[in-house]
Every structure is written in structure tokens, then in C-alpha cells.
Amino acid sequence: MADVTTATRLKKLINSPESEVKDALAGMAAAHADLIRVEYDPNVIIRKDPPKKGKVGLVSGGGSGHEPMHGGYVGLGMLDAACPGAVFTSPTPDQMARATKAVDGGAGVLHVVKNYTGDIMNFEMAAELARGEGAKVNAVITNDDVAVQDSLYTAGRRGVGVTVLLEKVVGGAAEAGYDLEKATALAKKVNANGRSMGMALTSCIVPAAGKVTFEIADDEMELGIGIHGEPGRERTKLRAADEIAEILTSTVVKDLPYKRGDEVIAFVNGMGGTPLIELYVVANAVNRYLQKEGIKPARWLVGSYITSLEMAGCSVTLLKLDAETTKFWDAPVHTPALRWGV
């Protein structure tokens, strides 16, 4: 009864906050039966074809509400399994332990973990459980968000857009036969070469909370927003897309820093509530800025790939390319959300 009230008031396409994740998982299983299968309790999305002997397994996971990350990236050339938690809440160790076991083809399993306190602790517990059963498990942590200060006095930078690019690149390498140590080293390199920054025009609404995560006026934007609607660097007056794109891109460029002559993947990501046409407006400004700086956007990804429910806004991620990274970015991929080369 309470559920119906909540759902109506929320004006979301859900049946109840409690059933949302499972209902969506069942939908994914039906829509992508050729690529994935879904197990429940613990909830895990697993690649349809059985673990390839000698192939490193790639497992990621995180709170739900960021779709298509991570479940949409399960398939050939990317993840072997994904563990969806409750909305914006890290999954639990039994999920990652199950996923690890299911995809272990004897060559070990690499966990891709975004740098959030809960995710880190739950994946650590899962790795302990899996190692207890004899699995070889490594973990790589993504922390590419330049908006938050990285210091001894914070939990460190958040893992955001680079996570998607890393899952593709390392997934390609695992498919090509990289062993666990080489795959881990590549994953660390990709994370080290990537930087991101996001912004929000509107808040998201976590169904179980039932109200906006943050209040923001019609003429304001939040710069440096996280993918859960966490506050960023600055609340400021809304500006034109070109200006916003330049703020995001220049901050990212200066952080690594990316230099004249660098080749990059430019990833313009939608937060969930922003139409693709606006993302292309941003991409245009990102391109102009990079050209001006002499940085070559050799590859592009434009679309909503790591989202924050219905939040409107975008993020810009750059990943410096070298021959190895480019090779595995270009390698075939066939997942619910990314497909090329096959």
C-alpha cells in the first residue's frame, strides 16, 4: 500500500522502490538473453557463455542507478560478471564472491572497484571469501574524479567515467589472453592515465528516499558533482554549454596534465536526464578545446554510459592513449550497452 503511494508520488516507472532492482534485472535478462544470464539472491549478472579456460575473469559491481554501468557491460570483450547493489548502495560480498566463483576459468579474477568506502570494504570482504576458496583475486581501484581533493584527509578521489573505459580496455586484453598480473598492470595504467569531471543541472531522486538528493535553483548548476548527486566543487550560476564544457575539459586537462601531442579517448557522458543532442553540443566544445590545446581526440564515446538516475548533467573523461590501450579499446565488444567489431 505504502509502495503504491510512494511510486505515484515519485512519478517514476517503478512498481515499488523495493522491487525496482529485481524488476530491472529480470527485464535485462529477458532483453539480452543472448548475452547474459541473471542469478538472484545474491544478484549477479553473468556472461552467457561459460568461463573460458585460461581467461582472466573480469568482475565489477556497484550500486544500481548508474545503468548501463555495470550490468550493461557484461559480454564478449568486457566484463564477465557484474554485481548490482541496491540503488546507490554498494553490493554485498556474497554477490562478488559468487560472481568470482562463476567466472573463474582458472586464470584468476580481477575486481574493478570504484573508490567509494563501501565498495572498497565489500569487495575486500568478497576477495577474502574467494581467496579462502582458492581463487586468485586481484583488485584495481578507479579514482579519476578531479573534482574532489585527493589527500590524507579524505577518502580519496571518486571512481567515475574512467571505470567504463577501463572495463572495455581491460576486457579486451583479457579476451586476448592477458594473464592476471598483466591485466592488473594494464588496469592500473588506464586508471592512472584517465581523469574526469562532472556537473549537474538537476538532482536525482533515490526511490527509497523519495525526494531530491539536493535542492538546486532553476538558474544554478553544481560543478564537480559525483554520480550519486554528491556535492562537488562549486554551486554556481548556469552558463552556456560551451563555457561549461570548457570548465570541465580544462580542469581535466590541467590535472593529469594532458599535453600537446597526446592522443586521447574523449568521453562525453550523460548523467541520465540529459538528451543526446545536448551531449553533442558539449562534445563540440570539448573538441574545440582539445584542438586548441593540441590534444588529439583519437577516439570518442558520447552518450549516457555512467548515470545518476534521472539527474541532468554531463561529465567529461579523457584517457591518454598508447598503442596497447588503443588496441584493446578497438577490439571487438558485444555487450548490452556497447557493441562494435562483431
In this structure, the chain runs to a length of 342
Nearer to other proteins, 145 or 246 (CB): 145
Binding mask 288-307 for other proteins (x = CB under 8 A): --------------------
Q: Hunting for cell 577474502 — which residue is that?
A: 128
Q: Which residues of 62-92 are buried (b: 16+ CB within 10 A; e: fewer)?
A: bbbbbbbbbbbbbbbbbbbbbbbbbbbbbbb
Q: Catalytic annotation on 228?
A: yes
| CA 251 vs CA 6, 66, 180, 196, 220: distances in Å | 40, 24, 34, 9, 20
Nearer to other proteins, 43 or 193 (CB): 43
Name residues contacting other proteins, limited to 35-54 (CB under 8 A). Answer: 42
Whether residue 46 contacts residue 52, with contact meaning beta carbons closer than 8 Å, is answered with no
**Binding-site residue total for other proteins (CB under 8 A)?**
33
Catalytic residue among 66, 70, 111, 334: 66
What one-character-per-residue DSSP string does 121-152 give? HHHHHHHHHHHHTT--EEEEEE--BTTS--ST
88 scored as a contact of other proteins (CB under 8 A): yes
Name residues contacting other proteins, limited to 118-157 (CB under 8 A). Answer: 118, 121-122, 124-125, 148-149, 153-155
Binding mask 200-229 for other proteins (x = CB under 8 A): ------x-xx---x------------x-xx
Q: Is 22 helix (H, G, I), strand (E, B) or coil?
A: helix
Q: Hunting for cell 549516457 — which residue is that?
A: 304
Q: Which residue in 51, 93, 270, 273 binds other proteins (CB under 8 A)?
A: 93
Binding mask 228-247 for other proteins (x = CB under 8 A): xxxx----------------
Query: How distant is the alpha carbon of residue 72 from its chain centre?
Result: 10
Stretch that binds other proteins, among 72-80, 87-95, 180-188, 310-318 (CB under 8 A): 87-95
Q: Hunting for cell 582539445 — which residue is that?
A: 290
**How far is the C-alpha of 232 from the C-alpha of 327, rounded, in Å?**
34
* Residue ranges binding other proteins (CB under 8 A): 42, 63, 85-86, 88-94, 116-118, 121-122, 124-125, 148-149, 153-155, 158, 206, 208-209, 213, 226, 228-231
Residues with a known catalytic role? 66, 228
